[in-house]
C-alpha cells in the first residue's frame, strides 16, 4: 500500500513511476480499496490497545530508521531482540513491522509488539525495549525517527551522536536556554 504527497502533478508522477516499478517487480494493482480501508481504521489501534491491556496483554510500539543497505539487518536485529527477551521471560510476543516512511536513502521501520504483560508490565517492557534499543544501535539504525528522543532514548541517542554531537547540542541549549529550564535532562546527554 503506497501513499504520495505533493502537488497534484507530483503525486501523479510519483504514482506512475511507483506503479511501473512495482509492475516490473511482479506487483499487482489492487485499486484504492485497501488504502481506503486502512485510512478508515487507522486510529482504531489505540482503542484495541486498551482492551488488550484489560485482559492482560500489552501492545507497544517502537520505531527506527536506517539506510537501505542496512534495513534487512536492522529489521532482523530488532525482531530477534524483542522475541528473545520476551520469550526468555516466558511471554513469547507477536512482533509486527511495517515501513512507515520511505526516502531515497532509506526507510523507517515501525514495530508493533503484542505480548502477555508478565508479572509486572513496566519492567517487563523496559527490558525488551532496552534490548531492542541496543539492537538498533548495533545494527546502525537511528534510535528514533518520528517519535522523538526524550528520556526513553537519550542514552542511546548519546551513543549514536557521539561526544561531538552531544557537545554541539549542549552548546545550543546553553545559548538558547542559559537558565536550563526547558526540558532539563530530556535530550542533551550528560545534562
**Whole-angstrom distance, CA of residue 108 vs CA of residue 103:** 9
- 45 pLDDT more than 80: no
Query: pTM of the prediction?
Result: 0.81
**Whole-angstrom distance, CA of residue 128 vs CA of residue 39:** 30
2 band by pLDDT with thresholds 50, 70 and 90: confident
The hierarchical CATH code for the domain 46-146 is 3.30.300.330
Give the model confidence (pLDDT) of 90-102 as tens digits.
999 999 999 989 9
Average pLDDT for residues 140-165, to the nearest whole number?
A: 88
Q: How many CB atoms lie within 10 A of CB 65?
A: 24
Backbone region of residue 185 per phi and psi (left: phi > 0; alpha: psi in -120 to 50; beta: other values): left
Calculate the alpha carbon distances from 30 to 2, 22, 26, 35, 55 in Å: 11, 12, 13, 9, 36
Amino acid at each position: 500500500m503506497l501513499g504520495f504527497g505533493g502537488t497534484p502533478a507530483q503525486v501523479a508522477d510519483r504514482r506512475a513511476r511507483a506503479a511501473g516499478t512495482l509492475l516490473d517487480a511482479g506487483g499487482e494493482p489492487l485499486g484504492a480499496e485497501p488504502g481506503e480501508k486502512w485510512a478508515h481504521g487507522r486510529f482504531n489501534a489505540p482503542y484495541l490497545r486498551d482492551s488488550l491491556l484489560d485482559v492482560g496483554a500489552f501492545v507497544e510500539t517502537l520505531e527506527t530508521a536506517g539506510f537501505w543497505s542496512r534495513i534487512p539487518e536492522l529489521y532482523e536485529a530488532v525482531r530477534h531482540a524483542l522475541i528473545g527477551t520476551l520469550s526468555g521471560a516466558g511471554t513469547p510476543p507477536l512482533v509486527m513491522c511495517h515501513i512507515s516512511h520511505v526516502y531515497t536513502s532509506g526507510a523507517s521501520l515501525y514495530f508493533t509488539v503484542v505480548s502477555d504483560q508478565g508479572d509486572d508490565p513496566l519492567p517487563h517492557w523496559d527490558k525488551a525495549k532496552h534490548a531492542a534499543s541496543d539492537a538498533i544501535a548495533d545494527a546502525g539504525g537511528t534510535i528514533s525517527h518520528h517519535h522523538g528522543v526524550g528520556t526513553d532514548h537519550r542514552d542511546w541517542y548519546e551513543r549514536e551522536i557521539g561526544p561531538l554531537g552531544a557537545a554541539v547540542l549542549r552548546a545550543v541549549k546553553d545559548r538558547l536556554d542559559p537558565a536550563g529550564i526547558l526540558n532539563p535532562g530530556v535530550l542533551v546527554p550528560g545534562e
